[in-house]
Amino acid sequence: MYDFDDRERETDMAIASQFVTAGALMRMRRDAGGLVCTTTPNRLAAELGLPFLSDVFWGMGERYPLLRTMAPTDIPYDGTKSSFGITINHRKTYTGITDEDRALTIREYAETIFSDSPADERRRMLGANFRAPGHVHLLNASPRILKARRGHTELCTALMYMAGVHPSATICEMMGDRGGAADKAGAMEYAERNGLPFVTGDDVVSAWEGYLERTGEDL
């Protein structure tokens, strides 16, 4: 998933969170090399009480004034606050950082938040089965997806909605060989060489409008 020429100009590898395996994470770690994160739709994050990390820091500002001075108000490519949420480990993991541990955490997280249980039961399950902080970085999508913010969090979450799977994506930025992000042409070549679709932000935005019209959903 490449975002836009006028935004990050970065490509993320992405997979539906419910299908994450240790092998998929190993590939992301070796072939992409960025930070592995897992997205949550905004409405679901709000329902379950999963905060933006910047809000947690702001709320602790009286006790730790430095946190307020570090508020992410000057992100050069983004007019909104960071999408970072909390970090988690499943309680059945050991250190939480291995491919096996993170795969378990991500799959169980997706299964829990999208279960048919009432919200209060899902909140209980999250507390019982996960601990924070951990080694899986959660990302909360913005409200009215792809309206106020068009980052990889929103683009990849929207893609999962349109694919008909649980709308949580696990993503990882592709790094280049010279210390920066992988360039677009290099990422496209990697996708073609490995039989993977290469999708752009423009592709998703265009398809998303049609998806909302067809389904009548308000997301």
pTM of the model: 0.94
Residue boundaries of the structural domains of the chain: 12-215
pLDDT of residue 73: 82
Distance CA 185, CA 74 (A): 29
- Report the chain's mean pLDDT, rounded to a whole number: 94
The residue-averaged pLDDT of 146-166 equals 95
Catalytic, 12? Answer: yes
The residue-averaged pLDDT of 20-29 equals 98
Amino acid 75: pLDDT:
83
Mean pLDDT value across residues 76-93: 88
Give the whole-number percent of the chain exceeding pLDDT 70.
99
pLDDT at 63 over 70: yes
- Side-chain-side CA neighbours of 55 within 13 Å: the count stands at 11
Instruction: Tell me whether residue 6 is one of the annotated catalytic residues.
Output: no
142, pLDDT greater than 70: yes
Amino acid at 8: E
- Of the listed 78, 111, 129, 135, which one is catalytic? 135
Query: Can 137 be counted among the known catalytic residues?
Result: no
**Is 173 one of the annotated active-site residues of the chain?**
yes
C-alpha–C-alpha distance, residues 21 and 48, integer Å: 25
Given the residues 3, 8, 10, 89, the one annotated as active site: 89
User: What's the CATH class of domain 12-215?
Assistant: alpha beta
Please answer whether residues 184 and 110 qualify as being in contact, where contact means their C-beta atoms are separated by less than 8 angstroms.
Answer: no
Annotation says 140 is catalytic = no
Distance CA 159, CA 78 (A): 20
| Residue type at position 109 | Y
Q: Which string of DSSP letters, residue by residue, matches 56-89? A: HHHHTTTT-HHHHHT-S---TT-SS---EEEEEE
